[in-house]
Amino acid sequence: MMETTVDPRRLVEQARAEGITRFSVGMILHRSEGREFLLLRRRPDDTSFPGGEDLPSGGVEPGEGLFEGLARELHEEIGRQAEAPVRPDPFVSWFDYVSRSGNRKRWFAFSAPYDGAPIRLSEEHTGFRWAPMREYDRSDLSPQVAGAVRDRLGSL
């Protein structure tokens, strides 16, 4: 599902009203007027999608807002300054899933232009690439995450 404005509190309230209390966040970082987006390569021994490509993403900790969790994940995964505010485009896409621990979760994808800062990968990743946005379906993103990128492409 896609929104045209971003109000993270309302997104959480809506999810909670639907019985979802755990959240994950991901960022579609884009450059070249939205024609390319950042993909990270997971380690081959990673517990989630070993060796696969993914967006910078991760779980939101209890007591953390969506944008706080996103800022922390961007810091952990690509070295973005932790104190820099997250200013996404007016875009959000989401899907629900059941985690490995059996919890029903909602994964939110946001989008923002790349600020040009150096990418410093965490130990969770072995590499990264800037992929053409229109070739999202040629990556090995999960079908749900690829759907979020497709939604973003459709909003350009």
Three-state SS letters, the chain: CEECCCCHHHHHHHHHHCCCCEEEEEEEEEECCCCEEEEEEECCCCCCCCCCEECCEEECCCCCCHHHHHHHHHHHHHCCCCCCCCCCCCCEEEEEEECCCCCEEEEEEEEEECCCCCCCCCCCEEEEEEEEHHHHHHCCCCHHHHHHHHHHHHCC
Which of 11-15, 127-131, 136-140 is least confident? 136-140
Q: What is the number of domains present in the chain?
A: 1
As a whole number, mean pLDDT of residues 53-77 equals 94
- Does 1 score more than 50 pLDDT? no
- Does 52 score more than 50 pLDDT? yes
Q: For residue range 101-137, list pLDDT tens digits in order.
A: 888 999 999 999 998 989 999 999 999 999 999 999 9
Q: What's the CATH code of the domain at 116?
A: 3.90.79.10
Structural domain including 130 reads 2-154
